């Protein structure tokens, strides 16, 4: 196991190197000049050139990249061009909010998606199976921003049941857990809808494959209750591919959170990245993208480790 973990950690090195290149080039090759945004309109050309030199933006891209990479390897993600605060501080302030949104969404996807997939597998060929799979296709096909806008219109504008933006009520005297939960419902459900469908479909296909195995027929022949056979023998042995899907799903949720956070003005890492892109804040966007990539790689590593926990037959040699 330890040798496997060591190999996986080594494999992350080229991945992170590639991510750093992409994160650096995407923001630098996009149109726009952060210097022009930092200086007033009446700034002279000499002022612009001096600001560009002070920020190191007058150097070739390759030199800028390796200079930034050297700082990253030393633990310094740089400073935001607009707030002059360390990027790592900006990221760590927003990242817990994104984690809260992502964890809540994956919880909803599991709680609603897996039972739906189990029922569809047990009732294979029934109207319940057909209806659930049709609903899954529809849920997987709908974009997050459209779902979010529809939920805002229905529950925020028409019914006025739930708040539609932010993390807390700005007019409230104090922040409460109930207020946080009310603000969390719409964005987390928006982010979870498509992944509920994905988890349901994958749970169904994985469980159907297991239910056709010989040991399942043997368990039924022994007179075990169907509920016990499905949940104890069937579901447990179908969890390995499901865990794999959940690991990738968390990565997709982190990516989808960028759009959802923008729609609901949720103060998370995705919202921070969007503001950084519009402001042409190079260090902030680069650092946030790199931090999100590290999180995604770590989540997939944890999912691989869980394989051995769920199925002791797996051995990483």
pLDDT higher than 90, residue 242: no
pLDDT higher than 90, residue 153: yes
Task: Assign 18 a pLDDT band (cuts: 50, 70, 90).
Answer: confident
What pLDDT does residue 187 have? 93
Percent of the chain with pLDDT over 90: 14
Whole-structure pTM value: 0.84
What pLDDT does residue 310 have? 63
State the chain's maximal CA–CA distance in angstroms: 87
Task: Name which of 282, 265, 243 is nearest 187 in CA terms.
Answer: 265
Instruction: Measure the CA–CA gap between 240 and 304, rounded to whole angstroms.
Output: 9
Instruction: Measure the CA–CA gap between 229 and 227, rounded to whole angstroms.
Output: 5
Convert the pLDDT of each residue in 131-140 to its tens digit: 888 888 888 7
Instruction: Measure the CA–CA gap between 62 and 64, rounded to whole angstroms.
Output: 5
Convert the pLDDT of each residue in 116-126 to its tens digit: 888 888 888 78
Least confident of 58-62, 118-122, 230-234, 291-295: 230-234
Tell me if 38 sits within 8 A of 81, measured CB to CB: yes
Helix (H, G, I), strand (E, B) or coil at 79: strand
Classify residue 86 by its DSSP letter: B
pLDDT higher than 90, residue 145: no
Instruction: Identify the CATH number of the domain defined by range 87-310.
Output: 1.10.3720.10
Residues 6+ apart with CB under 8 A from 49: 58
pLDDT higher than 70, residue 2: no
Task: Assign 94 a pLDDT band (cuts: 50, 70, 90).
Answer: very high
**Domain extents in the chain:** 87-310
């Amino acid at each position: 196991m330890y040798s496997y973990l060591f190999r996986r950690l080594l494999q992350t090195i080229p991945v992170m190197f590639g991510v750093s290149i992409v994160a650096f080039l995407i923001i630098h090759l996009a149109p726009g000049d952060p210097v022009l945004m930092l200086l007033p309109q009446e700034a002279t050309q000499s002022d612009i050139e001096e600001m560009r030199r002070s920020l190191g933006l007058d150097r070739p891209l390759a030199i800028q990249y390796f200079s930034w990479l050297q700082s990253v390897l030393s633990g310094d993600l740089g400073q935001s061009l607009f707030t002059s605060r360390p990027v790592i501080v900006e990221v760590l302030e927003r990242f817990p909010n994104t984690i809260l949104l992502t964890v809540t969404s994956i919880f909803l996807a599991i709680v609603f998606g897996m039972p739906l997939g189990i029922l569809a597998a047990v009732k294979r060929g029934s109207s319940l199976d057909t209806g659930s799979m049709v609903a899954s296709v529809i849920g997987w096909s709908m974009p997050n921003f459209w779902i979010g806008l529809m939920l805002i219109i229905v529950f925020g504008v028409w019914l006025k049941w739930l708040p539609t933006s932010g993390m807390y009520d700005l007019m409230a005297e104090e922040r409460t857990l109930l207020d946080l939960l009310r603000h969390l419902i719409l964005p987390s459900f928006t982010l979870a809808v498509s992944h509920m469908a994905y988890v349901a479909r994958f749970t169904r296909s994985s469980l159907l494959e297991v239910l056709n195995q010989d040991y399942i027929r043997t368990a039924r022949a022994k007179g075990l209750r169907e509920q016990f056979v499905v949940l104890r023998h069937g579901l447990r042995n179908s969890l390995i591919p499901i865990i794999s899907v959940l690991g990738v799903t968390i990565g997709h949720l982190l990516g989808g959170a960028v759009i959802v956070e923008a729609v609901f003005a949720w103060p998370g890492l995705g919202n921070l990245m969007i503001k950084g892109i519009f402001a042409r804040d190079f260090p902030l966007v680069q650092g946030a993208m790199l931090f999100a990539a590290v999180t995604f790689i770590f989540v997939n590593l944890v999912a691989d480790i869980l394989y051995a926990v769920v199925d002791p037959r797996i051995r990483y040699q």
